[in-house]
């Protein structure tokens, strides 16, 4: 018999009970009968209350079925975590309030709708990534309850709102929006920073994350040389890069700026 994290009995679905192979059945959610995906303990620990940490092992799976209330389950342990027993809301599962999409950059479904339907500034997945940075995060393994990037479901959300816009707008409105957009790749510039206080690979990870948080890409951090190099969007200055790294705990000064359009 399966129980939820708070002791509720888990009702088995007919679809689950039809699975005859016991080894195969272990991979399926008993509530909806849909196969789950392996989930790392590290991911779960970031989304569960500390009182549940000792109950987590490597047998758990993630239920991505948007019509099922289960988020994590282990048939081996007989333990299920429903969405209301997990600290973080998984956007595709629905529910009231704003629905998270990109957990790394703090983008919600409502924000994407605003860009497409209200502001009419985006008419493609590429535009949404450029305007909101959704799908460009680096910490999905930790921040997203699924342990995966939001790009798994981001395209379907964009298409949903584009369809809404097409059905409500004059026939040629979308083409005029596209004509007004600069569809070329964004201009970037390269910065090189002198970074103080780095002693190990963990320091490098922090510096890299600080630069990525302001839109940096192709970030390289060199601990022995006390330096870091990154490509920044045209609108982000070298001074802002200095401040971002310094705020992360590593005093930084601008060493070099170069052009790299692409």
Q: What is the pTM of this model?
A: 0.66
CA 97 to chain centre: 18
- Tally of domains in the chain: 3
**What stretch of H or E contains 107?**
strand 107-108
Out of 85, 101, 124, a domain closes at: 85
Residue 218: the pLDDT is 85
Same domain membership, residue 248 and residue 202 = yes
The per-residue pLDDT for 180 is: 46
Reported as half-sphere exposure (CB side, CA atoms, 13 A), residue 162 has a value of 18
For position 105, which CATH number holds? 1.10.10.1100
pLDDT per residue as tens digits for the range 84-135: 999 999 999 876 678 999 999 999 999 999 988 888 888 888 888 888 888 8
Strand duo 79-82 + 3-4: pairing: parallel
Domain that holds residue 8: 3-85
Say which CATH number the domain at 22 has. Answer: 2.20.25.270
- Are residues 22 and 8 part of one domain? yes
40 half-sphere exposure, CB direction, 13 A CA radius: 10
3-state secondary structure of 211: helix
Between CA 43 and CA 31 the distance in angstroms is: 22
Give pLDDT, residue 182.
Answer: 43
**Of the candidates 180, 208, 223, which is a domain's last residue?**
180
Low-confidence stretches of the chain (pLDDT beneath 50): 171-185, 259, 261-262
pLDDT given for residue 95 in this prediction: 66
Q: Which of 50, 85, 120 is the last residue of a domain?
A: 85
| Predicted local distance difference test score (pLDDT) of residue 132 | 87
- Answer whether 28's CB lies under 8 Å from 16's CB: yes
């Amino acid at each position: 018999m399966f129980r939820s994290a708070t002791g509720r009995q888990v009702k088995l679905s007919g679809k689950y009970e039809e699975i005859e192979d016991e080894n195969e059945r272990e991979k399926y959610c008993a509530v909806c009968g849909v196969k789950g995906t392996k989930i790392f303990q590290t991911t779960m620990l970031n989304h569960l209350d500390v009182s549940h940490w000792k109950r987590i092992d490597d047998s758990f799976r993630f239920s991505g079925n948007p019509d099922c209330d289960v988020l994590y389950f282990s048939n081996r342990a007989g333990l299920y975590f429903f969405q209301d027993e997990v600290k973080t809301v998984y956007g595709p599962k629905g529910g009231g309030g704003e629905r998270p999409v990109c957990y790394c950059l703090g983008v919600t479904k409502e924000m994407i709708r605003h860009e497409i339907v209200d502001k009419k500034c985006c008419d493609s997945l590429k535009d949404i990534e450029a305007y909101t940075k959704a799908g460009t995060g680096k910490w999905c393994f930790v921040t997203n309850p699924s342990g995966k990037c939001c790009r798994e479901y981001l395209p379907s959300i964009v298409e949903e709102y584009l369809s809404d816009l097409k059905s409500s707008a004059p026939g040629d409105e979308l083409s005029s929006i596209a004509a007004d957009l600069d569809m070329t790749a964004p201009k970037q510039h390269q910065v090189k920073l002198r970074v103080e206080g780095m002693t190990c690979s963990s320091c490098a990870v922090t510096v890299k994350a600080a630069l990525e948080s302001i839109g940096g890409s192709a970030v390289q951090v060199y601990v022995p040389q006390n330096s870091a190099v990154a490509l920044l969007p045209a609108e982000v200055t070298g001074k802002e890069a200095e401040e971002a790294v310094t705020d992360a705990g590593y005093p930084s000064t601008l060493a070099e700026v170069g052009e790299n359009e692409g």
